[in-house]
Amino acid sequence: GRQLQLREVGGILLQAATVDNWSEIQNFEAKPDDLLICTYPKSGTTWIQEIVDMIEQNGDVAKCQRAIIQHRHPFIEWARPPQPSARNAKDCMVSYYHFQRMNQVLPDPGTWEAYFETFISGKVGWGSWFDHVKGWWEIKDRYQVLFLFYEDMKRDPKCEIQKVVQFMGKSLDETVLDKIVQETSFEKMKENPMTNRSTVPKFILDQSISPFMRKGTVGDWKNHFTVTQNERFDEIYRQKMEGISINFCMEL
Ligand code: A3P
């Protein structure tokens, strides 16, 4: 396996390059009309980034082709840049596992059994899924936060995209909205070199191990979790999410 280690800042494990930029991240000041996307890894970050840019460009595909998504929506730790997007923990764990297999600048995830423990303990890059989701859920009503669920976006993309449009204070024609729904489908984004990470060199993302646009479904966890793992996970989830009235759809 890869001999790579994450580094810790304030109890959260991060990629070394992120830690190197830590003072810049801490000194980041948002402007009043900035839109920050605050996803836990593998919860549909790229998807919502593309949707937001499509809305900003009024559905103009050519304008959205001007650069790769990482440049149109820079990560706060990489450059300059709230809108949390949450995905159920089980599918998120599966997606993150495959991502760590192919991402050569993150630690090797080891076996699925080992990764299951790593994910539950929160000792993964950018911290614990539980802390992220709980944290945003608890403050969402006190700030201007639009909380979106990956599963809702899969079930009814038009309705969820419409929420984003409203949140951004815009209104779009029905035809533009329909176009955005089409252009941001998994199939389209998997083919699109500006969103599928195909321009990232193989020594960073090795898509022959697992494609960045992998499956894009709800319920893939059923192909990974054993019955025992599932029961154990549900119990841990109950403990960690106690008192939180959040409901995740686990299959469509
Ligand atoms: P899977 O690994 O389950 O396929 P992030 O962008 O936060 O890293 O999230 C990546 C996950 O979102 C991957 O999940 C990826 O396939 C999925 N995804 C990306 N674009 C999508 C889209 N347009 N529709 C549905 N899922 C999408």
Dist CA 170 CA 58 (whole Å)? 10
Is there an atom of ligand 1 within 6 Å of 192 CB? no
Ligand 1 atom at shortest distance from the alpha carbon of 91: 3
Whole-number pLDDT of residue 1: 64
Which of 15, 39, 47 has most ligand 1 atoms within 8 Å of its beta carbon, as the pocket-test mutant? 47
Whole-number pLDDT of residue 47: 97
80, pLDDT greater than 50: no
ipTM, two decimals:
0.98
Q: Could you tell me the two tokens for 166?
A: 């409203």
The percent of the chain in helix, strand and coil, each rounded to the nearest 5, is: 45, 5, 50
Is there an atom of ligand 1 within 6 Å of 85 CB? no
| Region 167-189 average pLDDT | 96
| Region 223-246 average pLDDT | 97
Is there an atom of ligand 1 within 6 Å of 18 CB? no
